[in-house]
Amino acid sequence: MAQDILDTVSTIRDAAVGRCRKRIEDAAKKAKGIIHRNPAEEENPGLCCEPQCGVTAVLKRKHGL
């Protein structure tokens, strides 16, 4: 029973790490300009006037992190 739980946890962890790697790769491609930006971002490039202008908010908005 304990081995089954460990196998399940390992499977879930591997899936989560894989999804994180995919998101990081996509964000890196987007940052390099390989993936095109959203049309809404192109229309309003200077959206830093929003209430959230922290470092994390800017990274999320620009790179999809």
45: its two tokens: 């490039």
DSSP string, 9-54: HHHHHHHHHHHHHHHHHHHHHHHHTSSPPPHHHHH-S--TTSS--S
Residue carrying structure tokens 């964000």: 27
pLDDT tens column, 53-64 = 777 777 777 777
Res. 42 pLDDT band, cuts 50 70 90: low
Higher-confidence residue: 31 or 50?
31
